[in-house]
Every structure is written in C-alpha cells, then in structure tokens.
Amino acid sequence: MKIKEIIVVEGKDDTTAIKNALDADTIETNGSAINQETLEKIKLAQKTRGVIVFTDPDYPGKKIRHTIKEHVPGCKHAFIEKKDALHKYGKGVGVEHASPEMIRQALREAHLMHEEVKEVITQEDLLAAGLIGGTGARERREKLGRLLKIGFTNGKQLHKSLMMFQISKEEFAAAIQAILQEEEHA
C-alpha cells in the first residue's frame, strides 16, 4: 500500500512503525511543542502532496493535532484507538505500538476536518442518544468515536468534532443504532 500524502507523526519510532506497515513519507514533530520550521514543512507538504496527521491517542497527540489544524488548514486526520496503541507491557501508548494492519486501517479511514460547517447533528441529538450527561455516556462516546473513525472526545467537544468531520445525520443514526444493539446484547 502506497500513501500519496505525507504523514505527520510525533517521532522516529512512529515513522518506523508507519514504514513497517506501508510505503509512505513522514514528517516528525518531535513532540507537542511544534516549532515554526516543522510547521513550514507541513504547510509545504499540504500544498504539494497533502497531509495526514496521525498522532498518539493521548493529550500531547491532541495538542499537536490542534496546533496543525490552526496553522495548516485542509489536512486529513487519522485516528487509532488507545486500546490498539498500547505497549504490549503497558509501558506507554502511541502509534509506534499499533499493529501494521491497525496503522493501514487508520490511514485508509483518514478524515478531512472542516472549520465552517452547518449544524446537522444538534446538542439535543447528543442528549437523546445518551452521549452527554448520564450513565454510560463516556462509554457510548468511545464507541461512537470508534465506529465513525473520529477518535474519542469528551462531552463538550463531541458536537464540534461531529461537525468538523461533517458526519451526516444518517451516519450518526447508524452508529447510534449499532451502539444500542451492542448494549442490548451485552
């Protein structure tokens, strides 16, 4: 599998994991404090080939995503679940610990984040689906993030994420239905 876009990762271990999974070029941020030189590389990559941001499912990874989103609009974003990015001996979480298949899957399912979008899914929809406020809301948000391939967000950020990724009412309803069926059979 060859990826046209340049993949932005956090460090050299992530680059090694990506290259073990597929044929791709990477830019390493070397941590969450991205310098101006790295941002310029990402901007150039976005102009010439496109960019997929693929950071760890933790706070520093979210911070890097946010910084890139602010400075380099139009990038795609790939997500991996925390459970799929855990070190086999519990010594950390990161893209470098994911299996080659999980990496390929996350990159295949990369989404474009949009800033200016109309509201399709409302706060009332989130409340009615049991995604905010109430017992089990966090677990449902985790499942929703997995099913829609948008990553996990807290209750306050969920609405914004659904809008940025332009999740349709139909996609949302199908994911909620799957979550409810899973809960029914649990």
Same domain, 127 and 66: no
* pLDDT tens, N- to C-terminus, the chain (186 residues): 788 999 999 999 999 999 999 999 999 999 888 999 999 999 999 999 999 999 998 889 989 998 998 999 899 999 988 888 878 777 788 899 999 999 999 999 888 766 555 678 998 999 999 999 889 999 999 999 989 988 888 888 899 889 888 888 899 999 999 999 988 887
Comparing CA positions, the residue from 157, 7, 23, 171 lying closest to residue 76 is 7
Number of domains in the chain: 2
pLDDT at res. 117: 55
Q: Which of 89, 112, 135 is the last residue of a domain?
A: 112
CA distance 175 to 147: 6
Comparing CA positions, the residue from 105, 103, 108 lying closest to residue 19 is 103
Helix axes 137-148, 169-184, angle to 10 degrees: 120
Output DSSP code: residue 144: H
In a domain, 87, yes or no: yes
- Residue 170, amino acid: E
The bridge status of strand 111-112 relative to strand 76-77 is: antiparallel
CA distance 144 to 88: 25
Same domain, 69 and 21: yes
In a domain, 130, yes or no: yes
pLDDT at res. 111: 81
Q: Which of 90, 112, 134 is the last residue of a domain?
A: 112
In a domain, 1, yes or no: no
Find tokens 């949302």 and name the residue: 172
pLDDT at res. 143: 93
pLDDT at res. 116: 54
Same domain, 69 and 129: no
pLDDT at res. 120: 82
pLDDT at res. 153: 86
Q: What is the phi/psi pair of residue 161, to 5°?
A: -65, -45
In a domain, 160, yes or no: yes
Instruction: Please check whether residue 111 is in contact with residue 162, taking contact to mean a CB–CB distance below 8 angstroms.
Output: no
Model-wide pTM > 0.85: no
pLDDT at res. 156: 83
Query: What CATH number has the domain bearing residue 100?
Result: 3.40.50.140
Same domain, 76 and 43: yes
In a domain, 118, yes or no: no
In a domain, 156, yes or no: yes
Same domain, 39 and 96: yes
Same domain, 59 and 103: yes
